[in-house]
Copies of this chain bind each other. A is one copy, B any other.
């Protein structure tokens, strides 16, 4: 059972008064001469004791209230702060230890509130920056748990960035390539960069960067949609391929006819023949150029098609010099 300051004070005071009365009685009786003589006064002594005891208890209750009221005030304020109401303040204007405690308590509450507000504002600022970044961002650990993601990430990968943030990277996207790239990045354990074409939720080309954090097993993944740049690059590549194809037919035709004109001796005039020879030579040059362009286009479409084999450098240099 919980005792109170009041109960404790009353018990102690009652003991003190009883002791004091007993002592006075003993001393008086010793002085008067006999306990019998004192017994004659029991009524008086008893009455006076009861009166003093009553008055004392009243005074003690008053003292106790004076002490417990500020204590209870602070207890309530502390409980309210714990419950989340940080703006608590106790109004206790005293000059004693309780007054000092109340001042310290208020100072503590204010400091805590200020600290909390400052860091909350600072955190909100960082959050705003991440929320408004045009790059998709998320933070994940080696197990693939997603701790943080931003709206852009949701837009690019097709999840609801507010209501439905997946807790694992494999559920970030229905596109297997993105999952695979993240998996590879985590396994690599070092800065990782990859350009990925995703098809879900839409046809997009994204550039993914994954940075492992120095502390712990976490990774920051940042990616942006480079579909537009990639589309332009592919248009340019297609242009080269299409133009090469477009050029090849007339060039081949010119080359063929020039060859026939020469082989069938269809140009008797020596100047005319020289002209046709020039046409033949120039068309040959064009043909090689166009073929080179076509090779380049094929390689751009499939960079793996480059056939690597040992070459004789001396032979190539001889060819060049000749």
A-side residues, CB < 8 A to B, are 1-5, 8-9, 12, 16-17, 19-21, 23-24, 27-28, 30-32, 41, 44-45, 47-49, 51-52, 55-56, 59, 63, 67-68, 71-72, 74-75, 78-79, 81-82, 95-101, 104-105, 107-108, 111-112, 115-116, 119-120, 122-123, 125-130, 132-135, 137, 139, 147-148, 209, 211, 213, 215, 218, 220, 222, 224, 226, 229, 232-233, 236-237, 239-240, 243, 246-247, 250-251, 253-254, 257-258, 260-261, 264, 266-269, 271-272, 275-276, 278-279, 282-283, 285-286, 289, 293, 296
| Of listed A20, A75, A289, residue having the most chain B CB within 10 A | A20
Chain B contacts of A21 at CB under 8 A? 24
List 15 extra interface pairs beyond A2-B100, A250-B283, CB under 8 A.
Answer: A16-B59, A23-B52, A24-B48, A28-B41, A28-B48, A71-B100, A126-B130, A128-B213, A128-B220, A133-B220, A135-B222, A236-B240, A247-B247, A251-B286, A268-B268
* CB-contact partner of A119 in B48, B123, B213, B226, under 8 A: B123
Q: Flag if A148 contacts B125 (CB, 8 Å).
A: yes
* B55 contacts A31, C-beta separation under 8 Å: no
| Contact among B20, B31, B44, B278 with A17 in the assembled complex (CB-CB below 8 Å) | B20
Partner of A286, one of B12, B250, B278: B250
Residue numbers in B under 8 Å from A41 (CB-CB): 28, 31-32
